[in-house]
Amino acid sequence: MLSRADIEARMPHAGASCLLDRVIAHDAQTIHCTTRAHLDPANPLRRNGRLDMVCGVEIGMQAAALHGGLRTHGATPRIGYLTTLRQVSLAPGRLDQPQWGTLHIRATCEQADEQGMRYHFSVESEAGAALVTGHGFVVLQPQEQQT
C-alpha cells in the first residue's frame, strides 16, 4: 500500500493537484487507488464551487499515470501526454457529493509499448456505483527528448 507522500514522490502532480490519496493494490497490469479529494473545497478542478462528474476522468488518468510510473521498477518514468479519450461514460450528477463516500479508482493497462500506453479506468463510489469509466491513450516522449 502506498501513502499520499509515496504517490506524490512518483507523480508530476503534487499538493492539491495530486487527486489520489492511497494505493490499495497494484500489479503489472492494474492499480486500485482511493481518494476523498472530490470532497475538498480547495480541489483545483472545482469551478463555481462545484466539481462536475467529468473531473473523474482526471482522477482515473492520474491512477493510470501512477501505474505507468510504478511499472518502471525504480527507473525514471518517461514523460507521457494524454492524447485521446474514448468510450467515456459519466453518471448523472456531480462528483463532489458526500453520498459517494471514498472513491475507488481502478486503472488497467490494456496495451503498452515504446510509443505509449492504453488504459481503461473507472471511478466508483464507496458503495460500488460506477461514476466515470473510459479509455485513455498516453503517448510517451522519446527518451532522447527527456530532460
Tens of pLDDT, residue by residue over 44-75, are 999 999 999 999 999 999 999 999 888 776 66
CB 123 within 8 A of CB 105: yes
Per-domain residue ranges of the chain: 4-145
Q: Which helix (H) or strand (E) holds 80?
A: strand 80-90
Q: What is the DSSP letter of 15?
A: G
- Domain over 4-145 is classified CATH 3.30.750.24: no
Tens of pLDDT, residue by residue over 72-98, are 766 666 788 899 999 999 999 999 999
Tens of pLDDT, residue by residue over 94-146, are 999 999 999 999 999 999 998 899 999 999 999 999 999 999 999 988 876 65
* CA distance linking residue 19 with residue 56, whole number of Å: 10
